Amino acid sequence: MRGSKTFVSSLVLGAALWTAAAAAPANAPSPSVTTPAASAGEADCQKVGGDVSALIDKGTRSPNVAAARAVFQVGIMECMDGDDAAANKHYDDAKKLLTNELQTAPVTAPKPKQAG
């Protein structure tokens, strides 16, 4: 008898939670919860990063694609930390590597900031 009561109780509770979740509004998070707003003259690092990511996907034959990916990854980490200016600089460096604007010595991957 106890097993059937547990089963029925679980079934009723599951149905109640499912209907509550289905009835809850699916609102987008408020801007204050997401990343801080970029300054007036600065582009959003998430948009710039998306553009550079598409460029990396297209530039798979570039000799600098590995270095560009490394610089891009550092930019992602900077963007996640909320430092749009530093992230955009890394994204710009990755873009220059892919478009061969940097004709200097081979680029080494930048080291991410140390926590602390």
Whether residue 90 has pLDDT greater than 90: yes
What's the pLDDT at 101?
58
Distance CA 81, CA 50 (A): 17
Q: Is residue 19 situated within a structural domain? A: no
Q: Is residue 85 situated within a structural domain? A: yes
Q: What is the pLDDT of residues 41-75, one digit of tens each?
A: 567 888 988 988 888 888 777 788 888 899 999 99
Q: What is the pLDDT of residues 22-50, one digit of tens each?
A: 666 666 555 444 444 445 456 788 898 89
Task: Tell me the angle at which helices 84-98 and 65-81 cross, rounded to the nearest 10 degrees.
Answer: 170
Domain that holds residue 107: 42-116
Q: Is residue 46 situated within a structural domain? A: yes
pTM (2 d.p.): 0.52
Query: How many folded domains does the chain comprise?
Result: 1
Exposure string (b/e) for 79-96, b if CB count within 10 Å is 16 or more? Answer: beeebbebbbbbbebbbb
Q: Is residue 16 situated within a structural domain? A: no
